[in-house]
Structures are given as structure tokens and as C-alpha cells.
Structure 1
């Protein structure tokens, strides 16, 4: 009896001709996004300080952040897919050093595609602009669809911002070099070696089939992890070496009000009690009324509105002494059409809607200016700041309905809006104009 006749024969490893469709899609989607980031990043960091290109650079920064998060997610998906699926073999004729270099390059790519977006995330969470060496926190809205939160506990850490941005820049340059080497190697395999390696990732090319498979992912990733850590360490050290001279770290109060480069509008927390007054009471027609605001941001005009507000209005031209009005605005409802601005409005030194979700305007007195023109003297409360303001307006009656239109210009400095990060109005205009248009019916 042949003792080997009953032994099981181990099947030969399956030969993988090319990458799967999922792997190919993930590869090229990531590649296109990464390549788009290189000229974008190079241009915008130079253009952001020039008035003529500041607005476009600001918009590119927001796109840059969104693309970075997309690359991070795609890379995580690629790693999961790579660990679960075999990949095509390297050509049998490749030298040992070529195999090591090919595998190291792939691992370096994965590491950089994780580390570069993550250092960018840390940088924006620290909220310190290294170009101006000032606090500057801008909310991150992923392509205007939803807000990506900052990493907790990093706000106002200046040294960290300089360090991670140094790492971010060095690794971006390193990634650009790797892309060039990767493309050169792919062309060498296709044009000189003619071994079909490029065809494994390009479905329309026909290439040779190779036996064997790559080493298991763990065996490839672990030997090069120390090298990836070294790349990150070099970037961090380089960033800190370029850290400017002594600069006072922000106090807790300053950290709380770290800048949000967005459009400022008032906010306050106050309930609206019964206001008294003997004049005629009015019911506001919300569909025909509105409160809007406008100014300039990064050299470009902007406008916005509040979707939610309430008004208790008692007004009679014949009884100005008995007239009274209180307007309470839900600042969370501010809309500008720019998702990044809308997210930033809720934070920090601008609105801080979590602590001060309402703005309140309360009149003290009215006086006639002649004809249909009047003005209301009162106070505006934003967060913890209350300032006196005078609101000129027109009042026109049509039957039992009245149409009121008015506007007032607010100074950011007086209201302590954005003065920690943008006191010179380099980003947001010093004056914000607020307009009201109210249609109301006598009760």
C-alpha cells in the first residue's frame, strides 16, 4: 500500500491576474483626489494673503479640507479591502531589491495617505493660523453637506499647530516625490520590461499573467512601520524648528473665543416677557417678513438671513409713548448660503450659539421724523454685551396691515465680535448692516 496515496494534495495558490474592480476604483479615485491637492495646496497658501485672491483661496481651503477627509476615508476603505483580498503577483523576474522597494513604496503611500489628512485635521482643530500667527478657527463643512467636528482638546495650541503643519507640508512634498517614482516605475514595467504590471490596474490594457502572490499584508506592513514613524517625526521636528519666536499662549478665555473666520451676527440668551405698552398690538406675518444681514468676507460681499425669530410689537403713531417692541432672534437659524460660514457662525467668539442662542432688541422709546419716517431707540444684546442702538424705519398702512422697513449698521468692535482674531477687519468687515422688513396685521 502506498502510504502517500491517501495524503491530501495542497492546491496551488490561485493566480490573480489583475486587481478587482473595487480595488481599481478606490485606487484611481484616491489618485485623482491626491493629484488635485498638490497644485491647490501650493497656490492657496500663497494667495490667501493677497486681497485680490483671498476669497478664492478661502474657498479652495474649504475644498482642500473636504477632499482631504475624502482621501482619508478612501484610504481606510482601501486598507480594509487590501487586507481581505489577495492582489496580483509581482513579476517573477523582479530582483529582490526591486520587490522590497515596491512593497516599501506601497506601504509609504498608505502611511502618507493616512498621516497627511490626519495632521491637517489636527491643524484645523488647533485653530492657529501659522501665516498670521494668530488664532483662526474655521468650521469644516464636508462639501456643504455636513459639519466635521474638530478634534477635542486642541483649540489654541499654537506650538502644536506649527508642528503638525510642518509635518503636513514635508509629507506632502514626500508624497509628490513618491507619486513621480510610482509613475516612473509603472511606465518602466509597461514600456521597458513589458511584464504586464500596469495592466493589473488599467482594465483596458492586456498584460502577462504571473504566478505567485504578494506576501501577506501583515508581513509587508510591519517591517516598514518604523520608517513611516520616522517620516512623521522628521516633519514634526521640522515644523517646530520653524516656529516663530516667543508668543503668549492664549488664556482660557481667549481660547474659548478663538476666531471663526466667518460672518458675524448678533446672538444673546434671553426670554421674551410680556412687554407692556398700551399701543396697538400687531401680529407679524412671518411669510412676508424677514431680518437680513450683510457685509464683506475675504474681500467679497455676503448676505444672510435669520429663519427663526419672534416679535412682540405694540405701535401706534398716535401713541408713541405707549409703543413698545421686543424682537428675539434665534441665531442658530442664521443662513448665508455658505455651509462653512453657517457652521462657523455657531462657534466661539462670533455667536457661540450653544451658550447664547438668542439675540434681543428691545425698544426704549419712539419718535417721529416726519411723514412715514420714525426711529426707535433701544438696546441690542449679543451674548453678554448690550449696546444702545437707534433704528430708523418707515411705517406704511394699507387697510389693517402695516409694512415696516428699517436698517441699522452695527460695529463689530462695540459688540466684541471677532476682535480676538480679526481686530483689523482683514477677513470680516468692521460694519455689519442689518435690515428688517415686517408686514403685520392689527390684532
Structure 2
């Protein structure tokens, strides 16, 4: 073996030895029929509940090595539905999600930390309307054989992504609650 090949092989061998759990972390396939990505906003003092109908999640997670987790969720922002025609028609507009220019929101995390028995937090980045903001996603996880159920909720400020920019707090609250319930199999 030549010296040049050894120089390239040694760092590769080190990386593979240092991160063996990454290669073995189970990949989970989300069961969309029993999963939900929802949100709650407040308009004129009343809660408005909705969900995203079109989204995907790529999840690689091993509870024995949560630091190796890889999570990527892609959401079609035009698929937001509240059941209220006026709101549903307004959300894709440029004032809100600007779906024609930015059709997808993406959450990406590399690694998670244990926060308690069956509880974790994934630090990642949420990109909406081309603006990327660090967020921490807390979630509870139960695994029964080859089926996992995860649920979590976080509060976001729509101002961070200029969603509804210029809309006063009294009309639509700045805080938006996002929740999810996911069932997946490996």
C-alpha cells in the first residue's frame, strides 16, 4: 500500500471507529395515517387549531446513542388547514408563509440529548421563508418492539420568520404552538 493511500485511509478509519453507532442507528418509517403535525395560533383572543396535511419525516434514532440521531422534517406550507376557508386561503400568501416563493419549511437536527426517562431534546434548525433559526425540539418517545411513538410540543414566535409581519399582536398572537404525534416502524 502506498504512503498516499495510507495517509487517506488512516483518517477514514479513525472516523469510522469513532462513530460506530451512526452507521447502526435504526431508520424509522413514519406511518402517516396515524401521525399528525399540528399548530395552534390565537386570533382575536380565540384559539385557531390547524394541521399540515403534507409533510415527510426522515428519522434515524437509537435511544442507546441519541447523540447519533438524524431528523429531517419537510413541510409543504401550503397544506396548512384550519377548517376556516378565509384563514386557509390567507396562510399561503406572501404576508404569512409565502408559499409560492418558499413552498417548504424544514426542520433539521443532528443529535439529541436525554432529558429524562423516555424524554429527549433535539437541537436543530427550523427554516421557514428562507430564514433559519435554531430551535430545540423536546419529545417523549416510547418504543415497543419495532414500533415507536413520539410526541412533542414547542412554542415558536412567528416574528422570528416574519410570518404575518405587520399583523398586530391583538389581531394574531405572536406565539404559535406546534405539536406532533408520530408513529413509526423500523
- From 407, 425, 429, the counterpart of 2:169: 425
Secondary structure of 1:417 counterpart = coil
Q: Which has the higher helix share?
A: 1
Kept in 2, the 8 Å contact 1:298–1:427? The answer is yes
1:294 equivalenced with 2:69 (yes/no): no
Is residue 2:144 matched to residue 1:392?
no
CA drift at 1:379:
0.3
What is the deviation of 1:365?
2.3
Q: What CA deviation, in whole Å up to 9, does each residue of 1:209-258 have, x standing for no partner?
A: xxxxxxxxxxxxxxxxxxxxxxxxxxxxxxxxxxxxxxxxxxxxxxxxxx
Q: Secondary structure at the match of 2:97?
A: coil
> Conserved in 2, the CA contact under 8 Å of 1:405 and 1:435?
yes
Q: Does 1:321 align with 2:67?
A: yes
> Deviation digits for residues 268-312 of structure 1, max 9, x if unmatched?
xxxxxxxxx531100100000010000211221110001110111
Cα distance per residue 1:326-367 (max 9 Å; x no partner): 000011111000011001001012111111111100003200
Which residue of 2 is the match for residue 344 of structure 1? 90
* Separation (CA, whole Å) in 1 of partners of 2:44 and 2:92: 19
1:103-122 aligned within 5 A: none
Distance 2:77 2:122 in 1: 22
Q: CA RMSD in A?
A: 1.1
Structure 1: state its 5+ residue gaps: 1-276
Higher strand share: 2
Do the aligned residues in 2 keep the contact of 1:309 with 1:327 (CA within 8 Å)? yes
Indicate the residue corresponding to 1:358 in structure 2.
104
SS in 2 for 1:295: strand
* Contact kept in structure 2, 1:284 and 1:439, CA below 8 Å: yes
- 2:68–2:110 Cα contact (<8 Å) kept: no
TM-superposed CA distance for 1:429, in Å, is 0.8
Matches within 5 A, 1:25-104: none
Q: Which residue of 2 aligns with 1:369?
A: 115
Contact 1:296 1:428 in 2 (8 A): yes
Cα distance in 1, alignment partners of residues 139 and 71 from structure 2 = 13
Establish whether residue 404 from structure 1 lines up as the match of residue 150 from structure 2: yes
Larger Rg: 1
Task: Give the secondary structure class of the aligned counterpart of 1:351.
Answer: coil
Give the drift of 1:415.
Answer: 1.7
Q: Secondary structure at 1:348's aligned position in 2? A: coil
Tell me by how many angstroms 1:412 deviates.
1.6
Runs (4 or more) in structure 1 with deviation over 6 Å come to none
> Which runs of structure 2 are paired with 1:2-13 in the superposition (5 Å)?
none
Q: Normalization by structure 2: what TM-score?
A: 0.85
Gaps of 5+ in 2: 1-21
Distance 2:100 2:172 in 1: 22
CA distance in 2 between counterparts of 1:284 and 1:326 reads: 12
| Whole-angstrom distance in 1 between the partners of 2:137 and 2:174 | 19
Query: Aligned equivalents of 1:321 and 1:368: distance in 2?
Result: 9
TM-score, L = length of structure 1: 0.36
Deviations 1:182-218 (A, max 9, x none): xxxxxxxxxxxxxxxxxxxxxxxxxxxxxxxxxxxxx
| 8 Å Cα contact 1:364/1:379 also seen in 2 | no
- Structure with the bigger RCO (C-alpha within 8 Å, sep 6+) is 2
